Amino acid sequence: MLSKRIIPCLDVKDGRTVKGVNFVDLKDAGDPVELAWQYAQQGADELVFLDITATNERRKTMIEMVKAVARQLNIPFTIGGGITSIADAEALLNAGADKISINSAAVKDPTLIETLAKAFGVQFVVVAVDTKAVAEGNRVHLNGGRVMTALDTATWIKQAEELGAGEILLTSMDHDGTKQGFDLLLLDQISKSINIPVIASGGAGKIEHFTDVFLKTGVDAALAASVFHFGEIPIPVLKQELKKYNIPVRL
């Protein structure tokens, strides 16, 4: 059985790591390169960096930060934010990123998923999906959660898989930053409906939330931010606890 992955997420704004609640009220959480090094030492399996204002401000992800992170890390990392073309993705790959994450640009032009998958391989392409529950069901949101679309979340994720996404990073905006636990119902539904890995995101607050998401859904990885950034859950302690529940993890 493949090991379940623990992935710290670093939301980056103006070169600093930030964290908010329900995508707002951002607080400084430190230097991303320094944090990346610490997580690698602690046993994180991968890292995700999201330039959270790149799409909204029409800015490209900072290549220099990627190079600095790549020099520090011996674990895979994904970078997202403002990627709209093969040239953007290629620049990040050349700078040292292992995967790229696309979100708003993929919704606006779904063929981008196919283009990137053909150019670099499906394992390079992560499609990030920010979802929020509304009266009609779960709807995909864009631009850091600022813009609601008419897209049904499950339908869009299935389409992304068919177009060549290698992995889905699914963030529940309703749970994000609340520390009340992952959206288990949604994650279980999505992970059972597709054949590519799902990364659970949004809601981690204590160790039990990680055991729940691995025991009660089919996700392949769990991502969190503030509980790691502020030292509330040390990664080695988390992994030892998961091991007690016979959840396969890399120690």
- Give the residue numbers annotated as catalytic, written as ranges: 11, 130
Three-state SS for the chain is CCCCEEEEEEEEECCEEEEEECCEEEEEEECHHHHHHHHHHHCCCCEEEEECCCCCCCCCCCHHHHHHHHHHCCCCEEEECCCCCHHHHHHHHHHCCCEEEECHHHHHCCHHHHHHHHHHCHHHEEEEEEEEEECCEEEEEECCCCEEEEEEHHHHHHHHHHHCCCEEEEEECCCCCCCCCCCHHHHHHHHHHCCCCEEEECCCCCHHHHHHHHHHCCCCEEEECHHHHCCCCCHHHHHHHHHHCCCCCCC
